[in-house]
Structure 1
Amino acid sequence: MFTGIVTDIGKLIDTRPSTAGRRMTIATSYDTQAIDIGASICCSGACMTVIERGKRDDGKGWFSFDVSPESLDKTTLGTWEAGTPVNLERSLALGGELGGHLVTGHVDGVARLVSRDDEGDASRFTLEAPGELAKFIASKGSVALDGTSLTVNDVDGARFTVMLIPHSLSVTTWGERRAGDRINLEVDLMARYAARLMEFEGQSE
């Protein structure tokens, strides 16, 4: 479980085929010696399991994980190449501060960034969700985009807007985002459960 508060911007330094799909290695400023093998790290919204970790000659840490064909198909990870910046968050420790909202790291689909409008030092982003996920996105509700917990401002059909302040733009990959980019989307967990409950109530009538 995660909070959607990005704590490092990593960089993909290697990607190659593996028996599990693809093996990816990310350079990070985390102290990787303090990360257990088998630990979960949210990588731009996708929960990945650490299978190797170490330290590079430049002092930066690195960790590797395998990406299944399903994850490659359902997320943006299949398009990543060496040099791709990645939002990182370590899993939430019991009793830790919940600064964003509860994020599982299970990507529901890929949204399209329609436009970016800079308003002073902040930026307003308009995105389009896959049609089947639009019903889970509500004005003033929460959404995780590339692993970043954000509040939805406005909703118009499958399109919705979020606003990022200068701090968020500087400590995440969002500062470099442009129209046409594909974004990993996880809808709010509570919205999904509420929709499922309403579905069952409708069937019982």
Structure 2
Amino acid sequence: MKYIFIFFYSFVLFGCSSGLDITLPDKYTEENDQPKGYLVGMIGASRTLPASGEALTTTLMIRQIGDDDTIMLTNDNSHSDFKTPSLLGQLFILPLPAGEYELYRITIEGSNGNQTFNTNSTGNLALKFRITEDTANYIGEFIAISRVVKSQLWNLKYPSGRGYFKHGYDVERDSALFYQLNPDLKAVNFQTKELAVIRNRLIYSDQSQ
């Protein structure tokens, strides 16, 4: 595996600022003649209290269909490409060989102030999509939200440290960011790849409701 820390524009990854860590199998960084497209999406967090996910570290695990090698995209929300009063997020742009892929697992790490949690989705999420050659293949935004619990000592709600993702699409915002961060890719077509229908557009880290 190669661990790639994004600090500036490079030949491997495009348009990403620091704070986003990419774990990439060696074969994806080797020079070859395979046709490639760009995997594009947003990883971010809610900023709305008490459910803010800014303190959560979230990871998307992706693999090519029929291949066990994992691509991991991890965001600790220390940097962002956009920020509003309710949301912040960072765009990932990753050149990959054309073919069928799936988002098969997520992990969320957080703390309730006393205990650290690390939770994983169970089974295979099997959220499949296709990377098309010479195309920005947009799989949407993944916004981390902390679960809210009621304090046993005070009648207050606060983030539990555990969390989940809200999935959706903001094509206008993210396509604008894609071209802004990558002016050399203005000729590349930006195409939304619809993932399988997710119940209530929520992805839970331990599958519990």
Instruction: Report the TM range for the smaller structure's normalisation.
Output: under 0.3
Query: Which of the pair is proportionally richer in strand?
Result: 2
Query: Which of the pair is proportionally richer in helix?
Result: 1
Q: TM-score normalized by structure 1?
A: 0.24
Q: TM-score normalized by structure 2?
A: 0.23
